[in-house]
Structure 1
C-alpha cells in the first residue's frame, strides 16, 4: 500500500450511454456536478478534504440524476466553480501525494473525471496512479445470490451496524468510503490490495437490501388482504 490514499467520489449529470467505452468517447460519459476527495495517510490520519460543485453550463442534469442527488443547475451555477479549477486542485493533490486512488465503484468516478480532464484538455494524472475499488474488494461479503456487489450504504451498514445518512452527496460518500476502507483493513476484510486495471463492459449488478425487503412486504401484505377478503 502507498504512503497516501486519496478517497474520491463524484455526483454526475446522468449515466453513460455505453459502459464499456473509454472516457474520451464523444458524448458517452456524463459530466461531474460534484467532486469530493479526502487524503489520508496509510495509517488512517486524515490530511485534508476537498468538496466542490461544478458551475459549468455545457451540460444538462438528467431527471433521474436530479432525483438522486438533488443538485439543480441553478444551485450549481450559484454555488459551484468551473470544472477546470476543480481538476487543477485535484491534479495538485494527485501530483503532491502520489496516492493510491480509492473509491466505491471507482471505475465510474475514474471515467467521469477522466472525461472531464479530456474535455478540458488537461493532462490526467490519475492515469499513472494505482486505483483500488472497495466495491470489488468486498465482493466476498455479498450474501445476495442475485447480485455480485454491495452498495456503499449496504457495506457501511454491514460494517458499522448503522445506516449511512445523506448518501449521494459526494463528500459524504467519499468519507464513508474511507471509513469502510480503514475498518476493512482493521478486521482483515481486504483479501488483496492488488487489483486488475480498470476495465468493465457493463453496469455492475448492485444489491439494494431495502428494495428486496420492500418487495417482500408488499407481497406479504397483498397475500394477507386477499386471505382476509376470501376468508
Structure 2
C-alpha cells in the first residue's frame, strides 16, 4: 500500500537540518492532502483538508503562495487533531510513503504529530521522494550540478505538459501520484 501526501504550511523552517523535535523551527500545517493506493496502482481513498489555525496565523507571504488565508482557514478548516488522527492510522497501514520533497513534508507532519502528543511513526516507514530520486532523470542544471526538480518540472519531463494550481496540496499530490506511477512503469523508481 502506498500513501502519497503533500502539505502547505505557514512558511519555511529557519533551519532545514533541525530535528523534527525542534517544534519552534518547523512551520505549522495549513493544508494536508493524501492519496492511498494499493500495490497495483488502484486508488483506494484520498483526502484534502484545510487546517483550522489554533494558536497561529498564516502569514501573508505564505497565503500568496498557496491561497489559504487565516480567515479562510478559520472558516473552512477542520480541527488538526481530527485530521491527523485519521492520517496517523493511514500511515500505520501503509507500506510506503511517497512525497515530492519528503524531507520537508515528513518534518511538517511529524512536528504536528508531536505537538498533539502522537507518536511520530513516519520514521519507521519506507519512504520515496520523487524530488530526490529523479534528479539524475530530469538532469536540470543547477549551480553545483543537477538541481532537484520542482514537481512541475518532473511532470513536464514525463508528460510534456504542465499542470494547473501548483501549491495546492490536493493538486500537487495528484500530480505526484501521476508522476510516481509513470516513473514506476518506466523502471526509474
Same fold judged by TM-score > 0.5?
yes
TM range (shorter): over 0.9
Give secondary structure in 2 for the equivalent of 1:9: strand
Question: CA shift at 1:57, angstroms?
Answer: 2.6
Report Cα offsets for 1:160-212 as digits up to 9, x if no partner: 1111111111111111111000001111222xxxxxxxxxxxxxxxxxxxxxx
CA distance in 1, matches of 2:120, 2:139: 37
- Is 1:91 equivalent to 2:88 in the alignment? yes
Question: CA shift at 1:127, angstroms?
Answer: 2.5
Gaps of 5+ in 2: none
CA distance in 2, matches of 1:42, 1:26: 34
Report Cα offsets for 1:115-144 as digits up to 9, x if no partner: 101111112222321111011110112333
- Is 1:13 equivalent to 2:24 in the alignment? no
2:21 pairs, out of 8, 21, 24, with 24
Give the alignment of 1:201-220 within 5 angstroms. none
Task: Give the corresponding residue for 1:202.
Answer: none
1:60 pairs, out of 38, 57, 64, with 57
CA distance in 1, matches of 2:88, 2:112: 12
Report Cα offsets for 1:45-75 as digits up to 9, x if no partner: 0000011110023112223211110100111
2:99 pairs, out of 82, 96, 103, with 103
Report Cα offsets for 1:143-164 as digits up to 9, x if no partner: 3321421100010111111111
Task: Give the corresponding residue for 1:208.
Answer: none
Give secondary structure in 2 for the equivalent of 1:23: coil
Alignment length (residue pairs): 186
CA distance in 1, matches of 2:176, 2:187: 16
Task: Give the corresponding residue for 2:178.
Answer: 179
- Is 1:42 equivalent to 2:39 in the alignment? yes
Greater mean alpha carbon deviation, residues 56-65 or residues 4-13: 56-65
Question: CA shift at 1:81, angstroms?
Answer: 0.8
- Is 1:118 equivalent to 2:114 in the alignment? yes
CA distance in 1, matches of 2:148, 2:18: 21
Gaps of 5+ in 1: 191-231
Task: Give the corresponding residue for 1:170.
Answer: 169
* Structure 1 outlier segments of 4+, above 3 Å: none
Q: Considering fraction of residues, name the structure with more strand.
A: 2
CA distance in 1, matches of 2:95, 2:48: 18
CA distance in 2, matches of 1:123, 1:167: 31
Task: Give the corresponding residue for 1:193.
Answer: none
